[in-house]
Amino acid sequence: MAHLYLRGNGYKKNYIQMRTKFFSTIMLLIFALTYVDAKDNTSKNDIDKSKIQRILGQWSDKSSNEWKYGFFENFVVCDNEFWEYDNVKIKANKGTIKIKNGKKSKSIDLLFLSNGDSICQISAEKGSKSDFIKRKLPVLPSKSDSRNFAADSYKIDSATVSGVLTNRITNDDVEVCVNGFIKNETFKAKIDSLGRFSIRIPLFGISNITIDWKNSRIKDVIEPNENYFIYKDWKTEVAWIMGQNWAFHTEMQNFKLPSQCVIPEYNEIKGRNKAYLDTCTHITTRRKAYLDAYIAKNNNLSSRFIDFQTRNVEYDLANALMKRKFSLNSGYSEELPRTYLDIVKLSIKNMPDNFLMYDNLLEAVNNYSDYMQHHDMVNINVNTIELIKYWNRKGEFDLTKEQKRELLLTQKGVDVTYSLLYSGADSSTIALRTQIYDEYIKNIQPLLDQKNVTDFISSSWAEKGEEIVQNNDILDYVENVDSLGFKPNVKELLIYKKSCELFQNQKKPVFESTLALLKDNVKNQFLSNDLSEKQKYFQNAEKKSDEYVQNLKMTDNVSQMKTYDELFKSLIEPYKGKVIYIDFWGSWCSPCRQEMTFAAELKRNLENKDVVFMYFANKTKEEDWKNFIKEFRIVGNNVVHYNLPEEQQRILERRFIITSFPTYLIIDKDGNIGSMAAGSPSKGMETVKEIESYL
């Protein structure tokens, strides 16, 4: 037993030594593996910048000229996305670059084929190898892209616009403006420290967009669901485009019209309309010749580019001629020459189904339909005329063709009279200018004086009149659009646009009978549903509490003030010791409405500061004024709204030389004018800093 004890004791000792040695070995092995792994991780995260220098630049496929890889110091661009370097190994003429984008990763194998490293074979997928050239400038496609534009669906979709801007001199946001049929919208995207940005934007069909980087501007056309990627160097103004439509976009950016092929603005040529027409048609002929020569020289241009630019020549002419209407003296019933309208009408007749991409055509169509309505079917709220038109449509009056014509001409005569009165014309001038309408007014007068008409006006117009006028306005517009020969899809979109403007301008729901009229003429399900949503929105808005009322200032106390000093002192006196940011605006002003969307952010950035926001509405009806403020929620303890009498508003606008709307001013804490050209709300922090400089 003793022998067994001694043997067992020795065995136990050996076992302990062996176990200690085993665990020591395991620990050394774990340490070694940890060290190797840590070393390997260090090598992954510590990218050798000298190796990246060798591949920096823009690499295009040698056979197609498509830009597919952009190697920058801190990131890689490929597949329309930003990737981060994960590992870079380059030795002699071979290398491997590993990149990652979130959970995605990619390995790119390189084989340099030239001494200057300007040609490289790149393989990013198994079995896929292509030769690439590093270029300083993008090159037009080597093969023609024969695809046509897709048909528009006429519903809201979206697209992604991404890019990178190098050598920039400002940190301002990127602005992407979508030039839409219903309205133009601007969207802002933040640029990160490396010059990168990405934004998702809504599109109503194929759209014309403008990408703006503070004096650096790009215009292009993009499709719904497209992933549009652009790289631009601010110094060189060179733009690179990536993606499935890169060929078309590259062609769009490379094509530059010489100055002698650009049509002048409608107000640049003084004198007769014929002189402007001659200039425009001469330049259009020159531009067609230039485009034909460009197409012949670059025989691989895409079908999309050729179609777009060819039509663009025609539509630029139509748009320029319709803009000439803004130079007419409407008070004296001046009209555009029939030659102008014939040219525009031909362009509209030949417009393609996917016309939404042509911003110049959209503008021409809108101006043409508005012009023809106001010159052929002028809608003035003359109660008796409106009532007779309404009853005639309901079958309660049976007007002859001649009576309808005389009624419209009478309406036009009243319109001219009101325009002349508004422009300050004297009675003899008004009599002379409206003389041609006297006969029609005389003929239609017995109809206007019928007892059932006059009785309804006196007893029921106050209750029913607004609804009658609203319905007549829509029906007049529908009849006008019908008469102009638009295609059904264009007609529907025009009426939808008119509907949107009606909601936007009055800031309240329409009558249910009006909504029914609109939906009778807008059959597209998406558009029809959108009208219903707008109606619900404004119905709900009416139910909200009138919290804005506290911000509306009464003006009875200033109606007798006739001098600027007296008037302005009374307006700003309660806010002495605070900086006042003044906004001259109007509910009729589209840029004003656009700027108001940024007002809340400007207020937030100046919250709890001694700043007062003071608004002066120009030529805005009381109801529109209140609805506008309610819709945009321009409210707060430091917000003041004035809708001054016309004379007092004019006194302020003359003193501050207000020639356009919106206009912004800053008044310092002592009540002195600090700036008569202050920054707008859309300029964001730039305007915030400007206001803060007076605190």
3-state secondary structure of 163: strand
What's the rounded mean pLDDT across residues 135-143? Answer: 92
Q: Say how far apart CA 207 and CA 672 lie, in whole Å.
A: 46
Give the mean model confidence (pLDDT) for residues 473-501.
90
Q: Give residue 17's pLDDT.
A: 56
Higher-confidence residue of 465 and 554: namely 465
- Compute the distance between CA of residue 183 and CA of residue 375 in angstroms, rounded to an integer: 24
Tokens representing 595? 């700027």
User: What one-character-per-residue DSSP string does 333-364 give?
Assistant: T----HHHHHHHHHHHHT--TTGGG-HHHHHH
Give 201's strand partners.
159
> Measured between alpha carbons, how far is 314 from 322 in angstroms, rounded to an integer?
13
| pLDDT score recorded for residue 15 | 46
In this structure, the strands spanning 611-617 and 639-642 are parallel
Contact by Cβ (8 Å): 224, 157: yes
Nearest to 498 by CA among 531, 532, 541: 531
Residue of 558, 570, 572 lying closest to 667 (CA atoms): 572
Q: What is the pLDDT of residue 127?
A: 65
Residue by residue, what is the 3-state secondary structure of 653-667?
Answer: HHHCCCCCCCEEEEE
Q: pLDDT (tens digit, 9 = 90+) per residue, 27-37?
A: 555 445 444 44
Enter the tokens of residue 529: 């549903």
Taking only the tens place, the pLDDT of each residue in 279-317 is 999 999 999 999 999 999 998 999 999 999 999 999 999
Tens of pLDDT, residues 655-665: 888 888 899 99
388-445, pLDDT tens digit by residue? 888 888 888 888 888 888 888 887 777 777 666 656 666 677 777 778 877 877 787 8
DSSP letter (8 states) at residue 669: T
Count, residues in the chain:
695
55 in Cβ contact with 90 (< 8 Å): yes
Contact 37, 31 (CB under 8 A): no
Nearest to 316 by CA among 268, 262, 249: 262
Contacts 24+ apart (CB under 8 A), 358-362: 358/208, 358/308, 358/311, 358/312, 358/315, 359/179, 359/208, 360/312, 360/315, 360/316, 360/318, 360/319, 361/311, 361/315, 361/318, 361/319, 362/179, 362/180, 362/181
pLDDT of residue 263: 93
Please give the pLDDT value at position 331.
46
Q: In terms of Cα–Cα distance, which of 180, 167, 239, 186 is closest to 206?
A: 180
pLDDT in tens, 341-379: 999 999 988 888 889 999 999 999 988 988 887 654 333
* 324 has pLDDT over 60: yes
**DSSP codes of every residue in 521-556:** H---HHHHHHHHHHHHHHHHHHHS--GGGGGBPP-G
- State the pTM of this model: 0.67
Residue 291, Cβ neighbours under 10 Å: how many? 18
pLDDT of 668 higher than 50: yes
Taken in order 398, 400, 401, 405, the sign of the CA dihedral is negative
**What per-residue confidence (pLDDT) applies to 325?**
87
What mean pLDDT is predicted for residues 525-536?
92
b/e per residue 72-88 (b: at least 16 CB within 10 A): beebbbbbbbbbebbbb
pLDDT of residue 194: 93
The pLDDT of residue 42: 36
Phi, psi of 306 (to 5 degrees): -60, -45
Question: Which pLDDT belongs to residue 370?
Answer: 83
What is the pLDDT at residue 12?
Answer: 45
Residue for token pair 């669901």:
225
Q: Span 572-600, mean pLDDT?
A: 89
Looking up tokens 């109660």 gives 383
Would you place residue 495 in the very low, low, confident or very high pLDDT band (cuts 50, 70, 90)?
A: very high
The string over 591-627, giving b where at least 16 C-beta atoms fall within 10 Å of a residue's C-beta and e elsewhere, is ebbbbbebbeebbebbeeeebbbbbbbbebeeebbbb
pLDDT at residue 33, as a whole number: 47
Please determine, for residue 123, whether its predicted confidence score (pLDDT) is greater than 90.
Answer: no
Confidence at 73, pLDDT banded by 50, 70, 90: very high
Is residue 224 within 8 Å of residue 159, measured between CB atoms? yes
Contact indicator for 115, 273 with CB cutoff of 8 Å: no
> 606: pLDDT confidence band, cut at 50, 70 and 90?
very high
CA quadruple 150, 156, 162, 167: dihedral, nearest 10: 100
pLDDT value at 21 more than 70 = no
**pLDDT for res 210:** 93
Q: Give 87's strand partners.
A: 98
What average pLDDT does range 468-487 have in this prediction? 89
In whole angstroms, give the CA distance from residue 160 to residue 201: 6
Position 669 pLDDT exceeds 70? yes
Average pLDDT of the chain is 84
For the chain, give the percent of residues with pLDDT over 70: 87
Cα–Cα dist 558/321, whole Å: 45
Residue 110 CA to residue 121 CA, distance in Å, equals 6
Quote the tokens at residue 337.
């020459």
Where does the pLDDT of residue 554 fall: very low under 50, low under 70, confident under 90, or very high at 90 and above?
Answer: low
Strand extents, DSSP E, 586-651: 611-617, 639-642
Q: How many secondary structure helices (H) and strands (E) does the chain include?
A: 22, 21
> Residue 143: is its pLDDT beyond 60?
yes
- pLDDT score, position 330: 54
**Would you report the helix, strand and coil content of the chain in percent, each value rounded to 5?**
50, 20, 30
